[in-house]
Structure 1
């Protein structure tokens, strides 16, 4: 296995307000994890490298579900099931699906001017987190799984860097 070093992208320089900072860091992490999955070779991209069964496609599939649940109010019946990628879905399809969920989430966020207000929900009466909580949670969730993806990608083909 040869090692490929990608350019290490530093954290973003965002605006001075809280919303710009939170969104800037979230977008940075979203780009980082999608980049870890892009170009990863089959079948290793879906092969578990750890006893828990975690693999790159599963991580990005899970984050797609989390984006939709947190920002769009989508219902998730089984969180463990969100870590499974369908056998017919390859890298390109899963990355595209993730980016679509991110774009949809960002369109919702673009309408939110008060970080303390609850996120809008398509079905009224359902509890919704505040925009601030949702952004902070997604930074934590995406950062955690981006770290997993860093290690998994290096184990697959030696690729490192953000």
Structure 2
């Protein structure tokens, strides 16, 4: 299997909001490349029952952004379920990818509508800057996880 070509890093910018959104989008692209050519069975594969399947990573990251942006930042009711790591057969690869892309647009719109110092509505003392950095960190962690899962699945790296 050939390696995937590297994605170029985001362009530098002095705008902190746009820089963090660009890095988050760059990392999302890394995740999406790992599932782009997989069938449903491959996307649900786990080596010896370990790791999260690639489909679970996409679904989990969609939920993470929703919980932090709509929940923590906006104060809307949200929930968490361990099922997000191993979604049922009703969630297809195409559906998960579509929802992740839609969530990315919603996250970017919400982030651009608030100052970085906007406090979380959950009373945690965190602000939008903290939340956005956490989303970058969470997505980067799972991008590495996706790299490992894909390489173990079929040898594709990059």
**TM class by smaller structure:** 0.7 to 0.9
**Given the alignment of the two structures, is residue 118 of structure 1 paired with residue 119 of structure 2, yes or no?**
yes
Scaled by the length of structure 1, the TM-score of the pair is: 0.84
In the aligned structure 2, how far is the partner of 1:50 from the partner of 1:15? 43
Question: What corresponds to 1:62 in structure 2?
Answer: 60
How far off its partner does 1:46 sit?
0.2
How far off its partner does 1:102 sit?
1.1
In the aligned structure 1, how far is the partner of 2:123 from the partner of 2:36? 35
Aligned CA-pair RMSD? 1.8
**Given the alignment of the two structures, is residue 133 of structure 1 paired with residue 100 of structure 2, yes or no?**
no
Which of these residues, 77, 88, 93, is aligned with residue 86 of structure 1? Answer: 88
3-state DSSP class of the match of 1:159?
coil
**Given the alignment of the two structures, is residue 148 of structure 1 paired with residue 128 of structure 2, yes or no?**
no
Contact preservation (8 Å) 2:150, 2:156? yes
Question: What corresponds to 1:35 in structure 2?
Answer: 33
Task: State the number of aligned residues.
Answer: 152
3-state DSSP class of the match of 2:40?
coil
In the aligned structure 1, how far is the partner of 2:107 from the partner of 2:20? 14
- Flag structure 2 segments of 5+ consecutive residues without an equivalent: 72-76
In the aligned structure 2, how far is the partner of 1:91 from the partner of 1:5? 21
Higher helix share: 2
Question: What corresponds to 2:74 in structure 1?
Answer: none
Scaled by the length of structure 2, the TM-score of the pair is: 0.86
Contact preservation (8 Å) 1:33, 1:60? yes
Which of these residues, 95, 98, 121, is aligned with residue 96 of structure 1? Answer: 98
- Flag structure 1 segments of 5+ consecutive residues without an equivalent: none
How far off its partner does 1:85 sit?
1.4
Contact preservation (8 Å) 1:115, 1:131? yes
- Which segment is superposed worse, 47-56 or 36-45? 47-56
